[in-house]
Amino acid sequence: MIQTRFSASRISELLAGGTGKTAQSYILDLAMQSIGLREEFSTPAMTHGIQNQMNGFEQVVKPLFPNAEWHDEFILINEH
């Protein structure tokens, strides 16, 4: 089992409002860490998708939607 501790460098996130999103995010980070999960990870399938996403766009989307533009940025849809 991975030992998880609150760190001095991030303790202010807990004190910033008690039950705010910052505190909840920090606690979730520690909970995930304690069971061996990381928020950022990569698999061979993900790497393949990242390396070939432009090919897919050019071969599938562009023929159907010639005016489509490539957009590869994070877009917040809602608070989740």
pTM recorded for the entire structure: 0.44
Alpha-carbon separation of residue 70 from 28, 32, 48 (angstroms): 33, 33, 18
Tell me the C-alpha to C-alpha distance, in Å, between residue 79 and each of 15, 16, 53, 72, 75.
Answer: 22, 19, 26, 20, 11
The predicted-structure confidence for 21-35, as pLDDT tens digits, reads as follows 677 888 888 888 888
Mean pLDDT score of the chain, rounded to an integer?
81
d(CA 43, CA 66): 32
pLDDT at residue 52 in the model: 93
Residues 6+ apart with CB under 8 A from 30: 4, 6
pLDDT at position 51: 92
- Report domain extents, the chain: 1-41, 42-73
46-68: pLDDT as tens digits: 889 889 999 999 999 999 999 99
The residue among 52 and 13 whose pLDDT is bigger is: 52
